[in-house]
Amino acid sequence: MAVVKLWQAVLLAVVLAWLLLVIVTSLHGQPPSPGTPIAATASVGILVGGRPIAAEPNINFASGNGIVETAVDNPAASRVDVTPGFNTALIPTHDTVHANENFCDSTNGTTLYTCKLPNKALLIYQRGQTFLLVADATCAMPCSLNIDTLGPISIKQADGTTDPVGQLVAGQPKWIWFDGKIFRLL
């Protein structure tokens, strides 16, 4: 959703920059030098998504909701360059949101594996969740996993009934998923 809003802001910034150039050029014949106030005498209709927003002599880029713009006069190209961006303090990047969110590193030395997720504690097991489990002991018979002290859940092979029987090897990462009742190997 944030990516869609960012692209909408980028498109709006490009259109508004173009409109600003058209206004300034039509009023002055050429863009004014940097810092020169623009004395507008005409209005230009501004549309966003095909809907009229306003008809004003000036356009002002106002940053908000995490979207920021940098406008620089570019007289050599007879334009104003507007570069949209976003404030990562308000709109986190994909890597910030998803940094190792499902990495489970058991360190208790038994097949009753336990781990804590690195970024945010899991509040509930939900069907469809996947985790990358690094077991610290090879599972030869029944084994279980307890994430963030939510309680141990049995681990089975993909069929949901057979114990892992050597499929979980100490130190080797293995993807598992929660089917609503147990963890299954992928």
User: pLDDT tens across 66-102, in order?
Assistant: 777 777 777 787 777 777 777 766 666 665 655 557 8
Residue 146 has pLDDT above 90, yes or no: yes
Residue 32 has pLDDT above 60, yes or no: no
Q: Which residues pair with residue 70 across a beta bridge?
A: 83
**Residue 29 and residue 71: Cα distance in Å, rounded?**
21
CA atoms within 13 A on the CB side of 184: 13
33 in Cβ contact with 43 (< 8 Å) = no
Average model confidence (pLDDT) across the chain: 77
Count the Cβ atoms, other than its own, within 10 Å of residue 181: 12
pTM passes above 0.85:
no
Percent of the chain with pLDDT over 70: 62
Q: What distances in angstroms separate CA 104 from CA 82, 131, 156, one per listed residue?
A: 44, 6, 17
Can you tell me whether residue 73 is helix, strand or coil?
A: strand
